[in-house]
C-alpha cells in the first residue's frame, strides 16, 4: 500500500496540486516557484516543487530553500508566550500593564494629527489575550488608514530597522494612542511583536535566543531564525512583488538582502526566515498535541486552545474588523481568531472544504500553512511574492485541491 493511500489520499489527485500551481501561476509568471508539503497520519504524503527560487539566476526551486515567512512568524511567537503561560509567569487574562508598567495610562485616538492627538480614556484595560487576537487597539503603519498609522510609520514602530529593538518599540507605543479600546474591534497590528517583547522580558534572554534554545533547537529547526547566515545564502530565495496585470518584479535580491544580517528589532509578528521542512516540524508539534520526537513543548490542553475562537462573543473577524475590506489575508467569512492565527468556526461560510477548529495563517510573501487536528493533517506552502493580487485565489486553490484529494475523512 502506498503512503498516500495509507494516509487516506489519492496519489493521483494529490498530483493535481503541483499541476495547478505550475499551469495557473508559475508558467504564467505570477509566481517564481513553489514548494508544498502535506503531512497526514504520520507521513509526508506530498512534497511538490515547481519553478525557480531565483529567477535572475535561473536557480530551480530546492527542497531546502529558505524563505521569508513574515506573518507565519506569529504562531511561533504565540507558542513561545504560551510556554511561559504554562510556567505561570503570565496569564491570558492579565492586564498588559502588569508586565509593561509604562502602558498603565494608554488612551484611545479621537482626532488630531501626530504631535497633537485628541484622545479619550480606554473603556477597559488591555489584556494579554487582546495581544494574541489583535483586539488590543494597536495597529500597523503599513495599513495607511489613519493618523495613528502615520505616527507608526514616522516612528518606524515594529520595523526591523527600529533602533533600540523591542524595548524602543514599547517606549514608542507608550506615547501613542490606541486605534480603539481593547476588545472592541479586530485590527491587524504589532500586538504579536509586543508578545515577543514579553517573552524576552519574562524569560530574561533575548527573544531570538529564547526561540533558538527553547523551540528551534529542541524541535530540530536549524534553518529558522531572524536572518539568513552567510553560509546558507545560496539557499535563500529572492523575493518578488506583484505588478498590475499579474506579472512580478524583483523586490529583494537574495544575494544583497537585508536578511543577510541580524535585524535591530526581532519581530515576533513577521521577522523570521525558515524552510518548509522546519516549519512543517513546528506544525507537526502542534498537530501532535504539543510534542514531537520525544520533545514536549506544550501540553495537549494548551494546544487545544489554538482550535478555539478567542474573539469576544465568539464573533467572526468580519464582524469585528475596523475596515473589513482593507486587509484580507485569506478570506475571513466563517473565521474567528485564535492564539496568533485564524481559526475556522463555520465551514459553510468559508465556501471551502475544511473542518471546524482548523487553524491557519499566511505570510506577506504569499506563504501559507494550516493545521487540521480532526483530520490529523497539516499543510505548508512556500513561495515569495509580495503584494500579490492572487493571495486569496491561491490559498483557495490549495485548500480545495488538498481536501479534494482525500479518500478518507474522520469527520
C-alpha cell, 396: 483557495
Residues 60 and 189 in one domain: no
Helices 11-20 and 391-404, packing angle to 10 deg: 170
Residue 321 is predicted with a pLDDT of 85
Residues 108 and 214 in one domain: no
Residues 266 and 381 in one domain: yes
**Per-position DSSP letters for 241-256, written without gaps between them:** EE-TTS-EEEEE-GGG
Residues 289 and 308 in one domain: yes
Residues 310 and 370 in one domain: yes
Residues 163 and 183 in one domain: yes
- For the chain, helix, strand, coil in percent to 5 are 40, 20, 40
Residue ending a domain, choose from 203, 237, 268: 203
Domain extent at residue 123:
83-203
C-alpha cell, 204: 530574561
Pick out the chain residues at pLDDT < 50. Answer: 328-330
Strands (E), 85-217: 107-113, 116-121
Rounded distance between C-alpha atoms, residue 406 and residue 375, angstroms = 10
Residues 166 and 287 in one domain: no
CATH number of the structural domain spanning residue 61: 3.40.710.10
Rounded distance between C-alpha atoms, residue 398 and residue 354, angstroms = 11
The answer to whether residues 241 and 251 touch, using CB atoms and an 8 Å cutoff, is yes
Residue 78 lies in a domain: no
Closest CA relative to residue 360, chosen from 168, 72, 167: 72
Residue 409 lies in a domain: no
Rounded distance between C-alpha atoms, residue 215 and residue 88, angstroms = 18
Residues 324 and 189 in one domain: no
Residue 244 is predicted with a pLDDT of 86
Residues 298 and 398 in one domain: yes
Q: Which residues contact 211 (CB under 8 A, 6 or more apart)?
A: 76, 80, 224, 225
Counted residue by residue, the chain has a size of 411
Residue 245 lies in a domain: yes
Residue 64 is predicted with a pLDDT of 98
Residue 278 lies in a domain: yes
Rounded distance between C-alpha atoms, residue 256 and residue 261, angstroms = 10
Residue ending a domain, choose from 179, 203, 227: 203
pLDDT digits (tens, 9 = 90+) for 280-308: 999 999 999 999 999 999 999 999 999 99
Rounded distance between C-alpha atoms, residue 237 and residue 35, angstroms = 12
HSE-up of residue 21 (Cα within 13 Å, Cβ side) = 26
C-alpha cell, 78: 504565540
**Per-position DSSP letters for 260-280, written without gaps between them:** GS--SS--TTT--EE-HHHHH
The answer to whether residues 228 and 252 touch, using CB atoms and an 8 Å cutoff, is no
Residue ending a domain, choose from 139, 171, 203: 203
What is the number of domains present in the chain?
2
Residues 269 and 158 in one domain: no
- What count of other Cβ atoms lies within 10 Å of the Cβ of residue 237? 27
User: What one-character DSSP code corresponds to residue 77?
Assistant: H
Residues 238 and 331 in one domain: yes
C-alpha cell, 172: 514608542
Amino acid at each position: 500500500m502506498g503512503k498516500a493511500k495509507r494516509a487516506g489520499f489519492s496519489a493521483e489527485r494529490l498530483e493535481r496540486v503541483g499541476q495547478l500551481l505550475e499551469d495557473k501561476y508559475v508558467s504564467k509568471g505570477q509566481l517564481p516557484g513553489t514548494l508544498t508539503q502535506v503531512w497526514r497520519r504520520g507521513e509526508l504524503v506530498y512534497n511538490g516543487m515547481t519553478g525557480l527560487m531565483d529567477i535572475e539566476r535561473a536557480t530551480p526551486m530546492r527542497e531546502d530553500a529558505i524563505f521569508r515567512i513574515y506573518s507565519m512568524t506569529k504562531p511561533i511567537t504565540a507558542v513561545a508566550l504560551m510556554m511561559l503561560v504554562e510556567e505561570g509567569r503570565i496569564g491570558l487574562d492579565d492586564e498588559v500593564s502588569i508586565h509593561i508598567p509604562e502602558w498603565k495610562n494608554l488612551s484611545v485616538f479621537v482626532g488630531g494629527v501626530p504631535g497633537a492627538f485628541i484622545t479619550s480614556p480606554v473603556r477597559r484595560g488591555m489584556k494579554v489575550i487582546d495581544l494574541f487576537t489583535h483586539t488590543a487597539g494597536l495597529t500597523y503603519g503599513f495599513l495607511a488608514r489613519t493618523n495613528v498609522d502615520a505616527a507608526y510609520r514616522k516612528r518606524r514602530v515594529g520595523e526591523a530597522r527600529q533602533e533600540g529593538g523591542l524595548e524602543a518599540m514599547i517606549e514608542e507605543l507608550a506615547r501613542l494612542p490606541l486605534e480603539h479600546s481593547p476588545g472592541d474591534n479586530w485590527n491587524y497590528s504589532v500586538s504579536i511583536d509586543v508578545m515577543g517583547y514579553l517573552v524576552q522580558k519574562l524569560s530574561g534572554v533575548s527573544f531570538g535566543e529564547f526561540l533558538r534554545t527553547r523551540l528551534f533547537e529542541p524541535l530540530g529547526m536549524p534553518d529558522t531564525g531572524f536572518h539568513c547566515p552567510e553560509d546558507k545564502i545560496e539557499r535563500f530565495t529572492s523575493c518578488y512583488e506583484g505588478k498590475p496585470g499579474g506579472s512580478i518584479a524583483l523586490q529583494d535580491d537574495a544575494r544583497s538582502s537585508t536578511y543577510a544580517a541580524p535585524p535591530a528589532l526581532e519581530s515576533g509578528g513577521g521577522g523570521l526566515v525558515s524552510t518548509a521542512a522546519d516549519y512543517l516540524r513546528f506544525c507537526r508539534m502542534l498537530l501532535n498535541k504539543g510534542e514531537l520526537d520525544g520533545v514536549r513543548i506544550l501540553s495537549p490542553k494548551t494546544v487545544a486552545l489554538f482550535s478555539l475562537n478567542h474573539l469576544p462573543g465568539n464573533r467572526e473577524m468580519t464582524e469585528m474588523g475596523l475596515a473589513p475590506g482593507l486587509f484580507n489575508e485569506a478570506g475571513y467569512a466563517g473565521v474567528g481568531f485564535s492564539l496568533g492565527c485564524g481559526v475556522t468556526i463555520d465551514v459553510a461560510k468559508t465556501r471551502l472544504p475544511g473542518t471546524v477548529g482548523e487553524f491557519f495563517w499566511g505570510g506577506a510573501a504569499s506563504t501559507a500553512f494550516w493545521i487540521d487536528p480532526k483530520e490529523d493533517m497539516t499543510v505548508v506552502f512556500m513561495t515569495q511574492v509580495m503584494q500579490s493580487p492572487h493571495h486569496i485565489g491561491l490559498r483557495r486553490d490549495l485548500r480545495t485541491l488538498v481536501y479534494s484529494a482525500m479518500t478518507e475523512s474522520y469527520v
